[in-house]
Amino acid sequence: MIFYDFEVHDTTGNLIRLREFEGKVLLIVNTATKCGFAPQFKELEELYTTYKDRGFVVLGFPCNQFMNQEPGESEDIQAICELNYGVTFPLFQKLKVNGPSAHPLFQHLKKKSSGLLGSAIKWNFTKFLVDSAGNVVGRYAPGVSPLSLKTHIEKLL
């Protein structure tokens, strides 16, 4: 499978084909509203609003696999992100990023870009940068500030 063959569900349950994002530079992030890194939502939103007119999109995927830091339902997660952080970039239904039931999208991302601990995602707010052809070109640890990725994003736009 290629990147654009994957399908996900938005927060209201609608099926979204990643082919809809073909030709765009993407930053894919596993998120959690109760995580210490949650303030990164503001930086992710800043990147999105700065570059969206140039073909850049942040895709947020809530995940509850790390110390139960995303226990809410999709509607609650969406509301928290909008109210507390001003998020307007696309958010999707909660999914798993590790283990045998990891979503196929994250299996693909991990296969294409291993991290410090091998392919496993070690925490919330791991970031994957995908170029406009659907290639995973970067993986960034949770502690990496989204704004520090500006140069990488600009090179791809």
Q: What angle do CA 63, 66, 68 make, to 5 degrees?
A: 80
Mean pLDDT across 112-126 = 81
Number of compact structural domains in the chain: 1
Q: 125: phi > 0 → left, psi -120 to 50 → alpha, else beta; which?
A: left
pLDDT in tens, 9-50: 999 999 999 999 999 999 999 999 999 999 999 999 999 999
| pLDDT tens digits for range 48-96 | 999 999 999 999 999 999 999 999 998 899 999 999 999 999 999 999 9
Q: Which amino acid is at 114?
A: S
- Model pLDDT, residue 114: 66
pTM for this entry: 0.95
Give me the catalytic one of 35, 44, 77, 149.
35
Helices (H), the chain: 40-51, 74-85, 104-112, 150-156
Range of the domain at 112: 3-156
Largest CA distance in the chain: 37
Whether 35 sits among the annotated catalytic residues: the reply is yes
Distance (Å, rounded) from C-alpha 72 to C-alpha 22?
30
CATH number for position 126: 3.40.30.10
Residue ranges of alpha helices (H) inside 15-73 are 40-51
> At 119, is the pLDDT very low, low, confident or very high (cuts 50, 70, 90)?
confident
Q: Determine the pLDDT at residue 117.
A: 57
pLDDT band at 113 (very low <50, low <70, confident <90, very high): confident
As a whole number of angstroms, the distance between CA 72 and CA 7 comes to: 22
